[in-house]
């Protein structure tokens, strides 16, 4: 077990979330060395961390599982060959430790003989000192050899290193864990890390990464040919390989919307379900070989029945790029909406093009996040919140402001996040007027609401503000924050139809 652990690994070992550790570091209760924590510090802060004490981790995992649907832990166990390789590696370490232990025992007995010889030559005070030194060594060795003397974190770390492998990315220095039968690409996406990729299916070569240390294994076939020179340099396709041991990987991270290619995909309707009288949830699934690459908060154009189009925000997380969720409003007379509510069938083809939009999470900021969803603005906000949760952001706040109760069409999602996660705060507000149709009186009422809230929560002014909803409402909110002196670089706005 290394003396310094990444936050991801340390959090796993003591059964807390990564943001709990970040809080301790920020409060000065733990030291951080280049984003890592010392095992000794960890033991000091979590003295009661026991092997079976994984309740907190299980709780967070459950929440994420519920929040993100079926995608998490689908295939919890690593590939059999990967498991065998990890166990072999662990056995080698064990054999090495045992042989070192033997050497130390031998050395100890030689030292003991040497001390006996020296003691025989000593007299008076030196003899007494020699006796007390021997006595001290005896006691220390006895206590170190006591049965039950073991470090619970080391045991857990052993288990963790069989079940998962850690990837450290360069040059970004981010790290994530590879679990189950995930490829490097899938594991990075689950951790909210946006690596460069294209087809996810081994055809385009856009997901090339270079393994600088550690061992990987190809678990999915790929057609894209890598040259001999690339193979020699350690280049692999991240959508086809998994990590066998902890690895260091050189790979590019997508930082901006400009780096995401414009795509055209024919997806199919998996399910549709009414969320309220006014809103339909549409779940589209892309073909296995053609997933939609996008950043949380972006939108796409959808075309149904080969002729009815609309542009909608994706209400799911890019960590599941095959399963795309949309919240479609009922708009009588709108051909797209009418088709969705009245005719759309499971299995039906839907043309997806995009993504568009720059309403994305500004990940480099370490300020608290304040999300304000107005009516259907909940769709892009949901995607951003799920992405922020994947990144284990330490302070997330969501306020859903609705025209009326009917517009709070998924209240349980925010409430469940709020109940289950310590770092997440959820609030709802109904305005009792249509946020899409503003007038002076309504504007004043919305401003009054924000003024009251900021007076109650002055800490909002320290965070990044994300606003999404009907244009008429988000403009008022944007102007309100601007009037308080918040720079444009900290207020992000998405107008939703």
Which residues in this chain contact ligand FES in the complex, by CB under 6 A? 197-200, 202-207, 222, 224, 237, 239
Least distance (Å) between residue 69 CB and ligand FES: 22
**Which residue lies nearer to ligand FES by CB, 201 or 414?**
201
Least distance (Å) between residue 75 CB and ligand FES: 19
**Which residue lies nearer to ligand FES by CB, 17 or 183?**
183
**Which residue lies nearer to ligand FES by CB, 206 or 280?**
206
Least distance (Å) between residue 351 CB and ligand FES: 21
**Which residue lies nearer to ligand FES by CB, 27 or 227?**
227
Beta bridge partners of 427: 399
Are 389 and 325 in contact by the 8 Å Cβ rule? The answer is no
**Which residue lies nearer to ligand FES by CB, 196 or 356?**
196
Only one residue has tokens 């709990």, namely: 20
Least distance (Å) between residue 222 CB and ligand FES: 6
**Which residue lies nearer to ligand FES by CB, 200 or 403?**
200
Least distance (Å) between residue 223 CB and ligand FES: 8
Burial 418-440 (b: 16+ CB within 10 A, else e): beebebbbbeeeebeeebbebee
**Which residue lies nearer to ligand FES by CB, 290 or 397?**
290
Least distance (Å) between residue 206 CB and ligand FES: 5
Least distance (Å) between residue 233 CB and ligand FES: 17
**Which residue lies nearer to ligand FES by CB, 118 or 204?**
204
Least distance (Å) between residue 199 CB and ligand FES: 4
Least distance (Å) between residue 177 CB and ligand FES: 20
**Which residue lies nearer to ligand FES by CB, 223 or 459?**
223
């Amino acid at each position: 077990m290394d003396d310094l652990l990444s936050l991801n690994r340390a959090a796993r070992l003591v059964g807390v979330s990564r943001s709990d550790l970040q809080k301790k570091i920020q409060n000065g209760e733990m030291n951080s060395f280049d984003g890592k924590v010392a095992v000794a510090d960890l033991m000091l802060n979590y003295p009661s961390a026991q092997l079976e004490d994984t309740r907190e981790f299980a709780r967070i995992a459950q929440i994420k599982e519920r929040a993100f649907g079926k995608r998490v832990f689908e295939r919890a166990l690593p590939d059999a060959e990967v498991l065998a390789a990890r166990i072999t590696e662990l056995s080698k370490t064990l054999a090495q430790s045992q042989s070192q232990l033997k050497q130390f025992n031998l050395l100890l007995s030689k030292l003991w003989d040497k001390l006996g010889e020296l003691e025989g030559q000593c007299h008076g005070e030196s003899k007494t000192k020699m006796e007390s030194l021997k006595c001290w060594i005896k006691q220390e060795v006895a206590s170190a050899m006591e049965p039950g003397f073991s470090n619970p974190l080391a045991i857990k770390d052993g288990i963790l290193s069989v079940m998962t492998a850690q990837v450290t990315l360069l040059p970004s220095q981010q790290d994530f864990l590879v679990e189950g039968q995930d490829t490097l690409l899938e594991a990075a996406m689950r951790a909210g890390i946006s690596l460069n990729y294209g087809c996810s299916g081994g055809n385009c070569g856009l997901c090339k990464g270079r393994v600088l240390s550690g061992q990987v294994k190809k678990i999915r076939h790929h057609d894209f040919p890598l040259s001999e020179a690339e193979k020699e340099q350690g280049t692999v396709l991240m959508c086809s390989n998994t990590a066998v041991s902890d690895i260091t990987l050189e790979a590019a991270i997508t930082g901006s919307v400009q780096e995401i290619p414009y795509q055209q995909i024919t997806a199919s309707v998996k399910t549709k379900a009414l969320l309220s009288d006014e809103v339909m949830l549409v779940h589209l699934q892309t073909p296995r070989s053609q997933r939609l690459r996008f950043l949380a908060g972006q939108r796409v154009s959808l075309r149904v029945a080969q002729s009815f189009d609309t542009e909608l925000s994706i209400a799911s997380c890019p960590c599941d790029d095959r399963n795309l969720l949309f919240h479609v409003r009922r708009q009588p007379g709108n051909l797209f909406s009418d088709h969705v509510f009245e005719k759309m069938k499971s299995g039906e083809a839907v043309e997806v093009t995009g993504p568009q939009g720059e309403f994305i999470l500004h990940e480099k900021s370490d300020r608290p996040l304040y999300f304000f969803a107005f009516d259907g603005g909940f769709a892009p906000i949901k995607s951003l919140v799920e992405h922020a949760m994947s990144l284990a952001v330490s302070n997330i706040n969501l306020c859903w402001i609705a025209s009326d109760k009917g517009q709070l069409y998924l209240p349980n999602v925010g409430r469940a996040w709020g109940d289950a996660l310590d770092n997440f705060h959820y609030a709802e507000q109904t305005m009792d007027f249509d946020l899409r149709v503003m007038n002076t009186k309504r504007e004043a009422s919305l401003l009054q609401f924000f003024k009251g809230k900021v007076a109650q929560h002055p800490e909002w002014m320290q965070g990044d503000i994300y606003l999404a909803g009907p244009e008429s409402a988000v403009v008022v909110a944007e102007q309100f924050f601007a009037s308080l002196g918040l720079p444009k670089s900290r207020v992000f706005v998405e107008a939703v139809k």
